[in-house]
Structure 1
Amino acid sequence: MSINLHAAHGSIDFPIRSRDHEMSRATEAIARESQWRQVVRSPQADIADITISRWEEARSTSSHQATTPEDCYFVAIALKSTRAKLTRDRQVVFDGTMPEGTLYVTAPSKPLAVQFQSPCAFLHFHISADHFPAQLAAAEGLNDLVLLRDPLAAELAKALIERGDAADHQFTFCIGQTLAMHLTRLELPRARVNALPKWRLRRVEQYIADHFDRCISLSELANVAGLSRMHFAAQFRAATGYRPREYLLKYRIEHAKTLLATTGRPLAEIALAVGFSTQAHFSTVFKRISGQSPARWRLASKNQRFEVEALPRRRPSADGDWITSAAA
């Protein structure tokens, strides 16, 4: 089931050179996974019944499979947007875009296979079934649950990432408890909405890319997809995690960022160029999506570029590989 809510290295390998090294890895509050959903559970995590790890995959496509242990739920939070297909026994659980903040859950003893169709990064939680009501486990209400752009999940992930190596087991345990409470209090959907088929989605995405600088109605996009307004809106949201209007606004803001970073055009001119009728509306939407006003974002972008340009370059080596070294 899926709910839409408001809101590098291929396989990271950690060679174990000694038992001491393995033990130090096992005592990390947030461990790095050497394989998808595979992590050494620390003694502290066993006591707390909560294990948190991080998975990153830089390849454009990758496939993995795992089975959730019989005594816990598996919960994943996307740290950046990715495209993924989740399947179990040849049945599709989810197929579409998982925006940053997407959360998905697998019940105890359940196998799951995934195909990532773009680079990805996730926080993974193994939370003891004791943290969930028995009746919920019996009904499998949380199995195959996908929450697109869940605001609380995004904030919890942000809190963990910001702590980084400073995160301790008590802190991660509190985060895991909060996540479990959040899941048990959700109003679960009665019916599943299928995601918009990829070929329809591509048509809509291309139409938005070609006409984002003018007003686009829901009926217009539904006609492009060949569906009624109601069915299109629900399926588009299931596929992207965004309402059509939200997706259009985000697309406009991303294009505006390019103009802000690469040109000196006035804000009012940029606002009109990306489809906003006034600079005030543009600034309001930009700050809501980006967390900064357009002027502050432009200044930060310039400062960051100047800092990169000011970095000292290495002296060229005899083999001429200094450019590669500096870029790395």
Structure 2
Amino acid sequence: MFTDLQAAHAWIDVQASPRDHQVHQAAQAIPKENEWRRLDRRPDAAMEDITISQWQDARTASSHEATTPMDRYFVGIALKTTRAKLTRDRQIIFDGTMPAGTLYVSAPSKPLSAQFQAPCAFLHFHIPADQFTTQSPATDGVDDLVLLRDPLAVELAKALIEHGDAADRPFARCIVQTLAMHLTRLELPRARVNALPKWRLRRVEQHIADHFDRSISLSELASVAGLSRMHFAAQFRAATGYRPREYLLNHRIQHAKTLLATTGRPLAEIALAVGFSTQAHFSTVFKRISGQSPARWRLGSKSEPLEVEAPSRRRPAAERDWIASAAA
């Protein structure tokens, strides 16, 4: 299950700046895992009530398994966009692109297998079960919550990365308590929607990759998938985490970034080349998704190595890390 909770964009595009070095130093205070969801501990070391760590893997493919301890919840927040497949008891829970800012939860005693098909970086929380509000009727829903894109969770992770220190236990505890309380109060969907089958998804993705430079309607994409508009929109979102319109706009912006960084073409020309009818609309969408205007983004790209991926013919290229230094 992948829920958006009305978040227009739960990932954040951050350009390199002198302040990034400060962020990097703060991030280093959070210990890094040598193995997925495992920290090196002395044999006589007791499990802390709250454990926060970082996991990153630069490999293009990796597989991992872990079972959440019986007395705590596990929460992971993606620091960069990756491709992932999550499996529990031989049942595929999620298989696709996981945008930066995605949060997923594993309840006590629950096993989980993860396969990453791209480099990844996560902030991991091991939270005692008693931190969750047991009186809340939504607590049972957390047991089944798998994937979520939620703006508040993203902001809490940012605060921890930017200001958290391993020795600052009160700050970390406050962040974790707020996150736990927030998760138990979420209004989760009552009905599950089947994800768009992969063969239909590939057809839609290919169609977008071939025609993103012109107007593409929801009816057109639904026709390509062979479904009604209503069923297509719901199943596409369940499969990718994106509304069809949001997916298309992200694909256009990623292609625009490539043109901005590798050519000197005017903004108006680039806007038309990636499917926008006006430069003004292009600039508005670009800033909403990337956090900067096209001109400012282009200026920043000239002073650092190009990190923009060419748009994939299968999925929109990964957004730039929302906290690049934390994933370094």
The normalised TM-score by structure 1 is 0.80
Q: Tell me by how many angstroms 1:66 deviates.
A: 0.9
The yes-or-no answer on 1:51 pairing with 2:62 is: no
Q: Tell me by how many angstroms 1:137 deviates.
A: 8.8
Match of 1:77 in 2: 77
Tell me the SS of whatever aligns to 1:188.
coil
Match of 1:326 in 2: none
CA distance in structure 2 between the aligned counterparts of 1:167 and 1:303, rounded to whole angstroms: 35
Letter in 2 for 1:82: T
Structure 2 unaligned segments of length 5 or more: list them. 10-27, 307-328
CA contact (8 A) 2:72 2:127 kept: yes
Structure 1 or 2, whichever has the larger Rg, is 1
CA distance in structure 2 between the aligned counterparts of 1:233 and 1:248, rounded to whole angstroms: 13
Match of 1:66 in 2: 66
Letter in 2 for 1:208: I
Residues 41, 284 of structure 1: alpha-carbon distance in 2 compared, 3 angstrom cutoff: farther
CA distance in structure 1 between the aligned counterparts of 2:272 and 2:45, rounded to whole angstroms: 55
CA contact (8 A) 2:132 2:139 kept: no
Indicate the structure whose relative CO is greater, using CA pairs within 8 Å and at least 6 residues apart: 2
Residues 194, 240 of structure 1: alpha-carbon distance in 2 compared, 3 angstrom cutoff: same
Q: Tell me by how many angstroms 1:133 deviates.
A: 2.4
The yes-or-no answer on 1:242 pairing with 2:242 is: yes
Residues 262, 138 of structure 1: alpha-carbon distance in 2 compared, 3 angstrom cutoff: closer
The yes-or-no answer on 1:255 pairing with 2:255 is: yes
Structure 1 unaligned segments of length 5 or more: list them. 8-27, 307-328
Q: Deviations over 1:83-106 (max 9, x none)?
A: 222222112222222111111111
Tell me the SS of whatever aligns to 1:236.
helix
RMSD: 2.6
Alignment of 1:187-226 (within 5 A): 187-226=187-226
Q: Tell me by how many angstroms 1:138 deviates.
A: 9.8
Letter in 1 for 2:92: V
The normalised TM-score by structure 2 is 0.80
Match of 2:12 in 1: none
Tell me the SS of whatever aligns to 2:115.
strand
CA distance in structure 2 between the aligned counterparts of 1:37 and 1:169, rounded to whole angstroms: 20
The yes-or-no answer on 1:232 pairing with 2:232 is: yes
The yes-or-no answer on 1:297 pairing with 2:294 is: no
Q: Tell me by how many angstroms 1:289 deviates.
A: 0.7
Letter in 1 for 2:226: G
Match of 2:18 in 1: none
Residues 173, 111 of structure 1: alpha-carbon distance in 2 compared, 3 angstrom cutoff: same
Letter in 2 for 1:84: A
Match of 1:97 in 2: 97
The yes-or-no answer on 1:107 pairing with 2:104 is: no
The yes-or-no answer on 1:118 pairing with 2:118 is: yes
Residues 305, 125 of structure 1: alpha-carbon distance in 2 compared, 3 angstrom cutoff: closer
Letter in 1 for 2:196: L
CA distance in structure 2 between the aligned counterparts of 1:206 and 1:136, rounded to whole angstroms: 44
Q: Tell me by how many angstroms 1:146 deviates.
A: 2.9
CA distance in structure 2 between the aligned counterparts of 1:45 and 1:212, rounded to whole angstroms: 54
Q: Tell me by how many angstroms 1:62 deviates.
A: 1.5
Match of 1:276 in 2: 276
CA distance in structure 2 between the aligned counterparts of 1:148 and 1:45, rounded to whole angstroms: 31
Say how many residue pairs are matched.
285
Question: Quick check: which one's helix share is greater?
Answer: 1
Match of 2:287 in 1: 287
Tell me the SS of whatever aligns to 1:258.
helix
Tell me the SS of whatever aligns to 1:32.
coil
CA contact (8 A) 2:60 2:118 kept: yes
CA contact (8 A) 2:138 2:184 kept: no
CA distance in structure 2 between the aligned counterparts of 1:180 and 1:164, rounded to whole angstroms: 17
CA distance in structure 1 between the aligned counterparts of 2:207 and 2:167, rounded to whole angstroms: 45
After TM superposition, the runs of 4+ consecutive aligned structure 1 residues lying more than 4 A away are 40-47, 135-139, 164-167
Percentage identity across aligned positions?
Answer: 78
